[in-house]
Amino acid sequence: MTILGLHRRVGGLAILGCLLLVAWPAMADEAAAATSTITAADTVWVLLGAALVMLMTPGLAFFYGGLVRKKNILSILMQCFMVMCLISLQWVFVGYTLSFGPNLAGIIGKFDWMGLHGVGMEASVYAPKIPHTAFVIFQMMFAVITPGLIIGAFAERMRFPAFCMFCLLWATLVYDPVAHWVWGQGGFLGMIGGAGAADFAGGIVVHINAGMAALAAAVFLGRRHGHPHHISPPHNLPLAILGAGLLWFGWFGFNAGSALACNGVAVNAFLCTHIAGAAAGLTWCILDWIKFGKPTTLGMITGAVAGLAAVTPGAGFVALSGAVWIGIIAAIVCWMCVVYVKSHFEYDDTLDAFGVHGVGGIWGSIAVGIWATKGVNADGVNGLLYGNPIQLWIQFKAVAIVAVYSFVVSWGLFKFVDAVVTLRVSHDEENIGLDLTQHREAGYTIID
C-alpha cells in the first residue's frame, strides 16, 4: 500500500468519524424518544404477570388431573404441557400477528409481524410504557391457556394426535381472529376503533371462546362409556385443590397484569379478582350445603374458579361492590348449569369447562355492561348503573357473535380432525385409560 493510499484511508476514516460525532446526538435523541415512555416498573409488572399466567397452565393440569380417574391423569398433564409448547411456537410464528398485527378490515391482523419480524424493544402501540416484546410474551400466555381450558370438556376420550391437530387449528382459526376482533387495533368488536365491547382480561376472548368450543366438543364426541352411572368420582381431590390454588394465584397476573402498567387500575383488578373468587366459592359451597346436606370441597374450588372467570372481563372496569355481585351471581348460574342443565340435556362436559368457564364468561361479560364505571378506569366505559344502558346491548352483541362463531367453527374443526386422524379413542382404549394407550406411562404404577 502506498503512502498516498494510506493517507486517503486515514482521511476517509477521520471524515466518517466526524460525521458520526455530529450525527450521534441526533441518533441518541431518536433512541431516547423511542424508549422514553418505557418504564422499568411497568415492564417488571407485565413480565411478572406473564409468569403468573404461565403458571396457570400447570395449575390447570393439576386441577383437571385430580378430577379425572387415575388411569387418565398423565394424559391431562401431557395435554396441558403440550399446549404450552405447541401454542407458544404458533404464537411466535403466526398467532401474534394474526391477533395484534396491523388491521385488515376489522377481521384479522396482517402478516407484518410474522415470526415477530419488526417486533423489538420499542414501545408497543398497545402498551406504550413497556417494550413491544413484553406485550408479546404477556399475550402469549393467554393464547396458551385458552385451548387448555377446552381439555376439561373432552377429558378421558380424545386421541393425542387429534388433540394436537385440533389445538393448533383452533388457536389459528378461532382464538386469533376473536382476539383481534376484541383487542386488536381496529377489531370490529373492540373498544379500539370498533363497536366498543369491553373485555378487560379475556371474558370474551378466553372464557366464552373456550367455553363454547368445550360445549361443541362435549356434544360432538358424545358421552364417556358408562356415563353418568358408572363413572368414578375424582381420584385425587387434594391434587385438584392444589391446582385450584395455583389458578387463583396466577389469576392475579391474568387480571391485574392486564392493566399493562403498575397503577391504580391494576390494584383495583387485583382486589376485585380476589373478592369475586371468594364470594363465588362461598356461594357455591352454601348451594351444595342446601342441595346435598353437606358443604363440599369440590364445590368450593369450582365456585371460586367460576367467580374468577366471571370477573375477568370486568376486573379493571368495575368497583368492589360490582365484583361481589358478579361473583355471587356467577356461582348461582354456573351451579345451576352444572347441577341441572347438564343432567337435563345429558351432554358429558367431563370437568364442566362449559358450565364454569363458558357460562361464567358469558355472565361476566354481560355484567360489564351493568357495573362498569369510568370512576375506576377513565379509559373504560360506563355501564347501565352508571348512566349508559347502551353498553349492556353492546356486550350482549359481542357475547352472541363470539359464542356462535366459536361453537360453529369448533364443530367444523372437530369434523375435519376426525376425518383426518380419528378424534376419539376406541372403547378398549378408553377402558384401559389414556395414560397407557396414548403415552405408555402411568401416574401411580411402574410399568415393567
Give me the pLDDT at residue 191, please. 77
Name the DSSP letter for residue 423: S
What is the rounded average pLDDT of the residues 95-118?
A: 96
Give me the pLDDT at residue 20, please. 33
Distance of CA 13 to the CA centre of its chain: 55
Q: Does domain 37-439 have CATH number 1.10.3430.10?
A: yes
Please check the confidence at residue 155 and state whether its pLDDT lies above 60: yes
Give me the pLDDT at residue 233, please. 86
Distance linking the first and last C-alpha atoms of the chain: 76
What is each CA distance from 125 to 43, 134, 138, 201, 204, in whole angstroms? 14, 12, 14, 18, 22
What is the rounded average pLDDT of the residues 422-437?
A: 96
What is the rounded average pLDDT of the residues 13-27?
A: 36
324-335 pLDDT, tens digit per residue, is 999 999 999 999
Q: What is the mean pLDDT of the chain?
A: 91
333-380 pLDDT, tens digit per residue, is 999 999 999 999 999 999 999 999 999 999 999 999 999 999 999 999
Give me the pLDDT at residue 275, please. 98
**143 — pLDDT class (breaks 50, 70, 90):** very high
Please check the confidence at residue 53 and state whether its pLDDT lies above 50: yes
What is each CA distance from 168 to 95, 387, 435, 438, in whole angstroms? 10, 43, 22, 19
Give me the pLDDT at residue 37, please. 87
**193 — pLDDT class (breaks 50, 70, 90):** low
What is the rounded average pLDDT of the residues 53-71?
A: 97
> Is the separation of the CB atoms in 276 and 323 below 8 Å?
yes
**10 — pLDDT class (breaks 50, 70, 90):** very low
Give me the pLDDT at residue 388, please. 95
Please check the confidence at residue 271 and state whether its pLDDT lies above 80: yes
Residue 364, all three cell numbers? 361476566
Q: What is the DSSP string of 15-64?
A: HHHHHHHHHHHHHHHHHHHHHTT--HHHHHHHHHHHHHHHHHHHHHHHHH
Give me the pLDDT at residue 194, please. 57
Distance of CA 11 to the CA centre of its chain: 60
Residue 139, all three cell numbers? 399475550
Q: Is 165 exposed, middle or buried (0-12, 13-18, 19+ CB in 10 A)?
A: middle
Please check the confidence at residue 154 and state whether its pLDDT lies above 70: yes
What is the rounded average pLDDT of the residues 50-69?
A: 98
Q: Please count the other Cβ atoms lying within 10 Å of the Cβ belonging to residue 169.
A: 19
Give me the pLDDT at residue 230, please. 72
Higher per-residue pLDDT: 370 or 27: 370
296-312 pLDDT, tens digit per residue, is 999 999 999 999 999 99
Name the DSSP letter for residue 80: H
Give me the pLDDT at residue 106, please. 92
87-104 pLDDT, tens digit per residue, is 999 999 999 999 999 999
**420 — pLDDT class (breaks 50, 70, 90):** very high
Q: How many degrees, rounded to 5, is the angle at CA 106 between CA 104 and CA 112?
A: 30
Give me the pLDDT at residue 192, please. 66
Give me the pLDDT at residue 18, please. 38
**446 — pLDDT class (breaks 50, 70, 90):** low
Q: How many degrees, rounded to 5, is the angle at CA 244 between CA 239 and CA 249?
A: 125
**410 — pLDDT class (breaks 50, 70, 90):** very high
Question: Could you give the CA distance from residue 29 to residue 6 in angstroms, rounded to a whole number?
Answer: 35
Give me the pLDDT at residue 229, please. 76
Task: Name the residue type at position 210.
Answer: A
Please check the confidence at residue 35 and state whether its pLDDT lies above 60: no
